[in-house]
A and B are shown apart, each in its own frame.
Chain A
Amino acid sequence: MHEAGIAAEILEIAQAQSALLGGARVAEVTVRVGDMSGVAPEALEFAFEALREGEASGAVLVIKRIAVLARCETCGTDSRPGADLVLWCAVCGKPLKVLEGEELMVESIELEGDAE
């Protein structure tokens, strides 16, 4: 599985933010993981905890899971396909465009440093 690689990228993004603020401690990293992103949240948490070091050695990973949201560009109907993942419009029978649920984003990073 590629969750270790994904966790390493997340930590690198967090370290870069920390460096911008003079090596502030990374307290928390919030990521958005789509249900259709191909990433398993449990495996990602495990890899993140195993790989964190330096300024991020105490960082907590917060995972926001994003359900699939799709829109029919023909009739404008939005829908949340269930576990059966039928990506066709139930109203007009046209293919749906996926708006949410495929993302893999670092949303925000909480940093802690010595107050001046």
Chain B
Amino acid sequence: MSGRVAVETPVLKKNDEYAAGNRRWFAELGMAVINIMSAPGAGKTTLLEKTLPMLAGRYSCAVIEGDLQTDLDAERIRKVGVRAHQINTTCCHLDARMVGGAVETFLESPPDVLIIENIGNLVCPASYDLGESVKVTLFSVVEGADKPKKYPKMFRMSDCVVLNKADLLPYSGVELDELLSNVRDVSPEAAVFTVSARTGEGLAGWVEWLAARVEKARGR
């Protein structure tokens, strides 16, 4: 027999189903899960090194680190006193199954807040739902004001866009207003913070926003 079958199936259906399972599981555990995405070198780990101590008094935290090679990032997180699990994958993104497996390692005492540091890549991670409660795009201002228009998907899908390395603005040739306007064009409803993870500038506003989203995700 021959013929055309209308299937109308999302290409990433398998991942989407796994992510939906994760989401139910994370809700049962009362765990807020934050997926942080960016290009390599935008400062995800540095942002976490500064953010985690600011959350520490209020919540127990854990971090999943995604990288192609090394557990350097997990080591950096452990140095600030937070549990970390490193995923090494030659994939250009984390998927829901990898994250589900990593969460198993924290089950003896599930954290209130789980932060996933995705693999450095401004394109692919945006396509893969992990079952997270909150998506964050981190972008360093030195990457250029035009990038939100060139790589719109990640910005669009994010609940929050954090613009990092604000301390380098004077040397970058990037106009902050132009960058902010491009972020707003493609992602009208995201919360936007301009920070320097290195100097600490602007971090209080970001952490306050994050804590509010954590409360919401945990149903408090």
Asked if chains A and B come from one complex, the reply is yes
| Chain A residues engaging chain B, CB cutoff 8 angstroms | 1-2, 5-6, 9-10, 12-13, 17, 21, 24, 27-28, 31, 36-39, 84-88, 95-96, 98, 102-113, 115-116
A115 to B189, CA, bound (A): 54
Residues of A within 8 A of B123 (CB): 1-2, 38
Chain B contacts to A: CB under 8 angstroms: 1-15, 91-93, 123-124, 126-127, 149, 151-154, 156, 184-189
Within the complex, the shortest CB–CB distance from B219 to chain A, in Å, comes to 27
Please, which residues of chain B bring their CB within 8 A of the CB of A104?
Answer: 10-12, 127
Listed A/B pairs (13) with beta-carbon separation below 8 Å: A1-B123, A2-B93, A12-B14, A13-B11, A38-B126, A38-B127, A85-B185, A107-B6, A108-B8, A111-B3, A111-B5, A112-B2, A113-B2
**Which residues of the partner chain B approach A106 to less than 8 Å between Cβ atoms?**
7-11
B12 proximity list for chain A (CB < 8 A):
6, 9, 104
Per the bound structure, the CA–CA distance linking A95 and B12 in Å amounts to 27
Residue among B15, B92, B126, B185 making CB contact with A87, cutoff 8 Å:
B185
Q: A38-B124, A84-B185, A88-B188 are in contact. Are A17 and B5 (CB under 8 A)?
A: yes
Summed over the interface, the residue pairs from A and B with CB atoms below 8 Å come to a total of: 105
Bound Cα distance A88, B189 (Å):
10
- Residue of A1, A28, A115 near B124 (CB, 8 A) is A1
A24-B2 in contact given A38-B126, A84-B185, A105-B8 (Cβ < 8 Å):
yes
